[in-house]
Every structure is written in structure tokens, then in C-alpha cells.
Amino acid sequence: MRARKILLDSLAAAMADEWVDKNRKPFVSGDTAYVPVRTGYPADTQLDERRPYRGRGYQMIGDIAVFHGERPDDSDLKGLIEWKNPRAVLYIKNYREIMRLPEAETLYGESCDVLHREEGYSFRLDPSKVMFAQGNREEKKRMAEYVGMAPTGERVADMFAGIGYFTIPMAKAGAFVHAMEINPVSFGYLKENIAENCVGENVTAENGDCRDLLKGEYDRAVMGHFDAPSMLGNILPHMKSGGTIHLHAIDGGTGDGNDKIIDAAGEYGFSATVTLRKVKKYSPGSWHTVQDVRLE
């Protein structure tokens, strides 16, 4: 690629110049930007064409690349930086405890707040500080579709709201969401994202343990935490007949826990129908599942 080498601080102004080939993206390395040049204009450097990245999987959250699972090797890291030119690259080994704190290592650049856009929603976060459930994209769409089909706005308990990955789509679809989050950092981003997506009239957000914050009755409850099965006894007294609980868990993907859910519902006077959905493979022999629990 024919390019001109300029200081990164000058990039924004340079992009308006007529010599810039706006069909190609600039490449940034450190404090230097390599700006593609249109045919007929002089260039001062020639960059090799980028090779498509063929390494292990990653996710882009805003302009920050995130690896999960096994730690990437040097060739994966180098290839991803050359291909995506991210602001930073993180390796997140795990999310710890009830607050879902990232065990994050910065492999390149510096993590910071980013604005991540997905399915028409905007989420502000620093992925080195809080969890973003990017792999649950279809589940977020499904929740929005369910509440959107309700004849009137449902009252929904989002018991582990995080930064709003379920709250925002459901509120946009017309639900009145009681969003509860125990992690104060995540809660701060949740409030920002409620404002960013203009759903303040549909969301009541509270910082604290959801077991202490549940109040009144709900048409629907989203329990998006792998410890959720142990908290069924907290939400069931607050559910309306005809309501649905969406219970996230890690299990073998065969519905082994269905009988326990049905028994727990029976203790509160409900008959329950349980439908199991596999969200994604979690580890060998285990799945991230969602059990849709319909209560009558």
C-alpha cells in the first residue's frame, strides 16, 4: 500500500485532505500513522499488504481485542495486531466471584473506556474492569423479542444486570426493567448505558445484592449468572402466575436440573414447564444453558 507517514496527532486533520485514499483504512503504530495515498499523488513509503488473520478466536469490544480461554501465543498476538490494528489487546482468563471481576492481562496497548455498538444498542465499558457478555448476542435478541410480544409493558427483574446487556434491549422493546447489579463499577456503566440508550423512563436501576432488592411482582425474570440456580428461592415468591424465569447455568446440556426447578416452583404453589436452550459450549462436557421456566 502506498502511504504517507505522519504523526498520529495529525491524523484527524489529514483525513480531510484530497490526497487521502478514503477507501482504505490508515494503519497506526505507536505515535505514527500510515495514511493510504490516492493514485496520482506522491507517497513516501510502501507498506506490505496485510495478511488475513488466521489465529485463534477473539472478540472485538469497541476497538479493543479480547482473547478468552487459552493464552494466545506471540504469533496470534502479532497477527491480530497487524490485521485489526486494535487500541489494545487483552487476555481475560476468567471472571471471578459474584461480582464477575475480569482476570485481565494487557498484552498490547492500554485498556480504557470504549463505546461498543451491537444490534443498534450502545454499551460503554472498560473490558479490563467489567464483564461484557458478548457471546450472548442471540439470547439478548430473544429477550427483546419476548417482551416486545407482550400486549402491555412487562415488569422484568434483571437480577444480574451488569452494564445492561439484557436490560437495554428489553427496555428498548417496551419492558419496565428493575435492573439490579452488585458490582459498583458495573453499576456505574449501567447508569451511563441507560442514559446513552435513552431508556431511563423504562429502567429502575439499583446497586446491591439482588436478593435484598427484589420487590413486588414480576412478569419475567432474567437470572444471567451461573450461580442463579441457588437463588430460585429468592425470585419465586415475586413471580406472577403466567410469568417466566430465564435461568442461566453451567451443566451438561441435558436438562438434568429440570426436576429440581419443578420441585422448587411447587414449593411456592406453581406448576412449572422447563425448556432447555444451549447458548454456547463452555468447556469439554459442559454448556452454558438457559432454562426457560414457565410458571402457572
- Could you give the domains of the chain? 2-46 (no CATH), 59-112 (3.30.300.110), 132-295 (3.40.50.150)
Give the integer Cα–Cα distance in Å for 195 and 263.
40
d(CA 64, CA 71): 16
Pair 288, 248: CB distance under 8 Å: yes
- DSSP string across the chain: -EEEEEEGGGHHHHTTSTTB-TTS--EEETTEEEEEB-TTS--SEEPPPPPPP-SS--EEETTEEEE-SSPP-HHHHHHHHHHH--SEEEEEEEEETTTTEEEEEEEEE----EEEEETTEEEEE-TTTS---GGGHHHHHHHHHHHHTSSSPPEEEETT-TTTTTHHHHHHTT-EEEEEES-HHHHHHHHHHHHHTT-GGGEEEEES-HHHH--S-EEEEEE-STTGGGGHHHHGGGEEEEEEEEEEEEE-SS-TTHHHHHHHHHTTT--EEEEEEEEEEEETTEEEEEEEEEE-
The predicted model scores a pTM of: 0.83
Is 264 within 8 Å of 295 (Cβ atoms)? no
- Residue 202: per-residue pLDDT: 98
Give the separation between CA 76 and CA 256, rounded to whole angstroms. 38
Roughly how many angstroms between the first and final C-alpha of the chain, as a whole number?
A: 64
Give per-10-residue mean pLDDT for the chain (296 aa): 92 94 86 93 86 88 94 94 92 92 96 95 97 84 93 95 96 98 98 98 98 98 94 98 96 86 97 94 88 97
Q: How many CB atoms lie within 10 A of CB 173?
A: 22
Q: Would you tell me how many other CB atoms lie within 10 Å of the CB of residue 13? A: 9
- pLDDT score recorded for residue 135: 67
